[in-house]
Amino acid sequence: MEIKSAEFVISNTDVKKCPDKGLPEYAFIGRSNVGKSSLINMLTNRRGLAMTSSKPGKTLLINHFIINDNWYLVDLPGYGYATAGKSMRGKLKNIIESYILYRDELTCLFVLIDCRIEPQQIDIEFMEWLGENSIPFSIVFTKIDKLSKSKLSENLKAYRDKLFETWEELPPIFITSSEKGQGREELLGYIDEINKSL
C-alpha cells in the first residue's frame, strides 16, 4: 500500500473526544519505550510525525493520524512505565483501557514486544485481558536490528512457546525494525487487506 498522505489530527485523554468520522483505525500499544511511535513514523515514512524519545513515557495521550484520508493510525501511551508515579500510572491505564474497550472504530490493535527480552508477565497478562474482552489484536516484535538472526529466531520461538501455554491459536505475528524499515510492507499489506474487507 502506498502512503500518499499522513497527518496528525488530534490528541486526547478522553475516548469520547476522538474523531467521529467512523473511519477504521489501527492502534499501537505496548510497554513504554518499546517503539510504538517510531513504528508509526516508519510505516508512514514521516520522520517526526509521532514524537519519540529514548526515555520512556514520551507518549501520554491518544494520538490520531489520518492516512490517505481514509483510515487512522493511533499512537497510544505505553503501559508499565515504572518510574511514573502511582496516580500517573492509574491515569494512563484508564486512558488506554477506555480507548481499547469503548472505541468502536478500533479495527486491530497491534501489541508491540521488544524482541530482545524474554516474555514479560505484564505483556502476557495484557494479551489475556484482550482475549477476555474479545479485542482483535496482532503481535509486532520490534527492534530486530538489535539482534543476530539466530538470537532473534531463538527469542521468537521462546515467545511462541510461552504463548502456547495459554493460547490454542496465535494471532498474526510481525517482525519489524523501525531503524531499518523491516516489516513495513507486511504490516501495511495486512492493514490494506483488512481495510478492503470492511
Positions in the binding site for ligand GTP (CB under 6 A): 32-38, 52-54, 56-59, 77-78, 142-143, 145-146, 177-179
57/167 with CB nearer ligand GTP: 57
Question: Residue 173 CB: number of other CB atoms within 10 A?
Answer: 14
State yes or no: residue 59 binds Mg ion (CB under 5 A).
yes
82/198 with CB nearer ligand GTP: 82
CA dist 155 → 12, 37, 132 (Å): 35, 23, 26
Q: Which does 80 bind (CB under 5 to 8 A by kind): ligand GTP, Mg ion, none?
A: none
Residue 1 Cβ vs ligand GTP, minimum distance, rounded to whole Å: 20
Question: Residue 26 CB: number of other CB atoms within 10 A?
Answer: 23
Number of residues that bind Mg ion (CB under 5 A): 4
106/112 with CB nearer ligand GTP: 112
Residue 33 Cβ vs Mg ion, minimum distance, rounded to whole Å: 8
d(CA 95, CA 128): 19
If we measure between CA atoms, which residue out of 35, 74, 77, 24 comes closest to residue 197?
A: 24
CA dist 19 → 37, 44, 100, 161, 182 (Å): 19, 20, 15, 39, 30
State yes or no: residue 178 binds Mg ion (CB under 5 A).
no
Asked whether 36 and 109 are in contact (CB, 8 A), the reply is no
State yes or no: residue 41 binds Mg ion (CB under 5 A).
no
State yes or no: residue 37 binds Mg ion (CB under 5 A).
yes
148/197 with CB nearer ligand GTP: 148
**Nearest residue by C-beta to Mg ion?**
59
Q: Give the pairing type, strands 106-114 and 137-142.
A: parallel
Q: Which residues bind Mg ion (CB under 5 A)?
A: 36-37, 58-59
